[in-house]
Amino acid sequence: MDAVRDASEKRPKHTSQYDEGASERSNEEMLRPRKSYKAILFDLDGVLVNMPDGHYEALNRALALFGVKIEREEHMRMFNGLPTRKKIEELEKAGRLPTGLKEFINAVKQKHTKEIIPKYCPPDYSKIILLQHLKNRGLKLACCTNSIRETTHLMLKSAHLFDFFDLIIGNDEVKNPKPHPETYLYTFEKLGVEPHECLIIEDAPPGIASARASGAFVIEVRGPEDVNLALFEKILNF
Domains 2-50+121-236 and 52-120 alike in fold: no
Domain boundary assignment for the chain: 2-50+121-236, 52-120
Tens of pLDDT, residues 77-133: 999 889 999 999 999 999 999 999 999 999 999 999 999 999 999 999 999 999 999
pLDDT band for 31, please (50, 70, 90 cuts).
low
Strands, E, within 4-82: which ranges?
Answer: 39-42
- The pLDDT value given to residue 80: 87
By percentage, how much of the chain surpasses pLDDT 70?
85
pTM, rounded to two decimals: 0.81
Tens of pLDDT, residues 130-169: 999 999 999 999 999 999 999 999 999 999 999 999 999 9
Query: CA angle 136-138-139, nearest 5°?
Result: 110
Element (H, E) at 142: strand 140-144
Cis peptide bond upstream of 12, omega within 30: no
Hey, what CATH class is 52-120 in?
Answer: mainly alpha
By percentage, how much of the chain surpasses pLDDT 90?
79
Superfamily name with CATH number, domain 2-50+121-236:
HAD superfamily/HAD-like (3.40.50.1000)
- The pLDDT value given to residue 11: 40
* 40 SS3 class: strand
From residue 103, alpha-carbon distances to 96, 106, 111 in Å are 16, 5, 12
Residue 164 has φ and ψ, to the nearest 5°, of -80, -15
